[in-house]
Chain A
Amino acid sequence: MLEKALDGGKGYWAWIFLLLAIIGAGFIAYLFQFNYGLGITGLSRDVSWGFYIAQFTFLVGVAASAVMLVIPYYLHNYKKFGRIVILGEFLAISSVIMCILFIFVDLGQPMRVMNVMLHPTPNSVMFWDMIVLVGYLTLNVVIGWTTLGAERKEVAPPSWVKPLIYLSVPWAASIHTVTAFLYAGLPGRHLWLTAIMAARFLSSAFAAGPALLILLAFIVRRVSKFDPGKEAIQSLAKIVTYAMSINVFFFLLEVFTAFYSNIPGHMAPIKYLFVGLEGHTRLVPFMWTATALAFIGLTLLLIPNTRKNEGILPFALIAVFVAAWIDKGMGLVVGGFVPNPFERVVEYSPTAPELLITVGVYGIGALVLTVLYKVAVSVKEEVEAGGAGEASHH
């Protein structure tokens, strides 16, 4: 089926080469980092994780969100999602690949990465994160490819896929839960040491992931003959609405606990993010932008008329997506390190090479996604054309 990715128009190839150029730039920047060390980034002994790990964390959520299509379609037999479930699975594949790459570019000694397998350490959450991510990638590759292959031949998927599909449901929850446990089990990092972390991760994932998926579906509809279907998009939009409402609610729970209890350590990172601490306010404009976007996006989604309006819906989804990205892709990781264990404020911002590498990894993700979507859409176009031809024949 992969050959279908080689058959595209001018626009398709222009897009592919643009992505390759971005990936090339990121790769060159990575060679500099590989040679010089992580000192090329904005990281320090006080803020020792930054942009890379934050993108990893955010994208685990995007990957997990495929389950929001799998559950209604396979567990509740909601037929409308039948057309787009493959888009969710393929988005998961590209996201997990990006997750793995973001971990890789964050390593100080990338050549030793196999040590994680050579010296398996079950007491480390990172060990389990590796297992669940690789497992989730494998599940989605096998399920996605097999079901699409069956669709192409217009037969039912083989029966052995069903158990794997059911397994992928708790597995999706596990990838984001285990990723939350990377943070939520560390003593002395007040922003992260919260039992609701995994729940917050899942709710923000189920808002941002499907939001991105609808936006991708709009693009697919524009560039191909395949239409994911208005009803499927509207159902997904409702899922985004619920998840984002829960996400905002969970965040407010954190604010209540920190500020009503009045415990300084719990309040400090939230203060840093939203009003600044000891005069350090680097993230404040971003966090308020996220707040405004979350509010606007959620309002547009909650009002049925604006949600159902396909001219407005993309803006609501972009707002929700960007809000979730700022929250997790910028605030969460850095906020955990500020103030530092000495209650001092050391700020962080990514450097140009760090951003280039980040964009390069996103480029790889976009390339994988483009190729997979091209295959999926071509198969669907072929089947629909064949189906239509048959119908007219009879």
Chain B
Amino acid sequence: MSIDRRQFLKIAGVSTLLGLGTAAAVNGIRRDDVEASQMEPGPDALKAKRWGFVVDMSKFKTEEDYARVVHACHSIHNVPDYGNPKDEIKWIWKDDFEHTFPGQEDTYMAAEMKEKPFMVFCNHCAQPPCVRVCPTKATFKRTDGIVMMDMHRCIGCRFCMAACPYGSRSFNFRDPRGKDESGRPFIKELNPEFPTRTKGVVEKCTFCYERLAKGLKPACVEASGGGIVFGDLEDPNSEVRQLISKHYTIRRKPELGTQPSIYYIVGGNENA
């Protein structure tokens, strides 16, 4: 059978379209295309079945102890500072006991306890409501328990912010790469190793996935001087599990069934 050039082009064109269409359809259905921004872990990568933190508040003594941890995280992750609470972006910050654990406070509790600051950040829930509601899988749970963000897929609908019962998520209400009126950039010291974000996407703590992949501890852990411990919650011999078994720990809003992966040692060692 002989075909002319015109027919050949027609057939080739149609088959290409069919092929692309089928591939797209199959890719759309396959489950394993979810983790779009998963990094290939290096040979020294730290691995776990379920990453978690234990925060020992007794190790945080001065204002400087909190500030150092916040700065360690925000500076390496290019978290912008707009200088106003409305547009604020934060990955890790402190709030007092009364507001971190609402419902736990009581009239006769010592003011010192009520006002005691706690480090708060994404809980990397085992049952994350943010992941459940995301319409594009831009936020997803990795097999190691980290609740991740794909900033290139996020459409900025902010359903995840409504769903998160911990207020862990921030939205880029304006361009973080911009400058304020006096010409100061919102990102004070740019870290070229970590991507900056664009306006209109949601972001939050990502458990320093980029550091784990290189065998490094999360930045907050490193800066906390033992105040924040991380490890595998599924491993009974891990440091985090040892701490949880020896101390009385609490989690934020456990009654919601989200199964947060951050445990707080409330009273420090003396209460053990």
Residues on A facing B (Cβ under 8 Å): 36-39, 42-46, 48-49, 103, 106-110, 112-113, 115-116, 118-121, 123-127, 130, 182-183, 185-189, 264-265, 336-337, 340-344, 346
Contact = CB atoms under 8 A, between A and B. Distances in A.
Interface in B112-171: 129, 132-138, 153-159, 161-167, 169-171
B188 interface: no
B99 interface: yes
A37 B137 contact: no
B102 to A, nearest CB: 4
Interface string B77-96: 00000000111110000010
B133 A124 contact: yes
A10 B32 CA distance: 60
B253 interface: yes
A344 B170 contact: no
Given A121-B136, A124-B159, A342-B102, 19 more contacts: A36-B174, A39-B174, A42-B86, A45-B89, A45-B169, A45-B171, A108-B171, A109-B154, A109-B198, A109-B200, A119-B137, A121-B134, A121-B135, A182-B159, A186-B162, A186-B165, A341-B166, A342-B100, A346-B85
B75 interface: no
Contacts of A115: 135-136, 138, 153, 155
B200 A37 contact: yes
Interface string B238-267: 000000000000000100111000000000
Of listed B28, B89, B137, B162, residue having the most chain A CB within 10 A: B162
A123 B132 contact: yes
Contact of A188 (B28, B153, B165, B170): B165
A265 B174 CA distance: 32
Nearest to A192: B162
Contacts of A124: 132-135, 159
A255 to B, nearest CB: 21
8 contacts: A108-B200, A110-B200, A115-B155, A124-B135, A126-B135, A186-B162, A187-B253, A343-B99
A340 B100 CA distance: 11
Contacts of A344: 99
Nearest to B154: A109
Nearest to B82: A39
A170 to B, nearest CB: 23
Contact of A189 (B103, B156, B162, B201): B162
B161 A38 contact: no
Given A45-B169, A115-B153, A343 B201 contact: no
A54 to B, nearest CB: 13
Contacts, number: 149
B22 to A, nearest CB: 15
Nearest to B255: A187
A104 to B, nearest CB: 10
Interface of B: 28, 85-89, 95, 98-100, 102-103, 129, 132-138, 153-159, 161-167, 169-175, 198-202, 253, 256-258
Contacts of A337: 162
A101 to B, nearest CB: 14
Of listed A44, A107, A119, residue having the most chain B CB within 10 A: A119
Given A108-B199, A187-B258, A340-B167, A125 B133 contact: yes
Contact of A187 (B87, B138, B157, B165): B165
B170 A37 contact: no
Contacts of B198: 109
Nearest to A114: B155
Contacts of B167: 45-46, 340-342
B136 A119 contact: yes
A112 B135 contact: no
Closest 8 CB pairs of A and B: A108-B156, A188-B165, A108-B200, A39-B173, A37-B199, A341-B167, A39-B174, A126-B135
A188 B155 CA distance: 23
B28 A119 contact: yes
Contacts of B88: 44-45
A107 B154 CA distance: 10
Contact of A127 (B135, B173, B256): B135
B28 A126 contact: no
B169 to A, nearest CB: 7
Contacts of B163: 186-187
Contacts of B175: 36-37
A38 B171 contact: yes
Nearest to A36: B174
Contact of B172 (A37, A103, A107, A123): A37
A34 to B, nearest CB: 9
A107 B198 CA distance: 13
Contacts of A118: 28, 136
Contacts of B257: 187
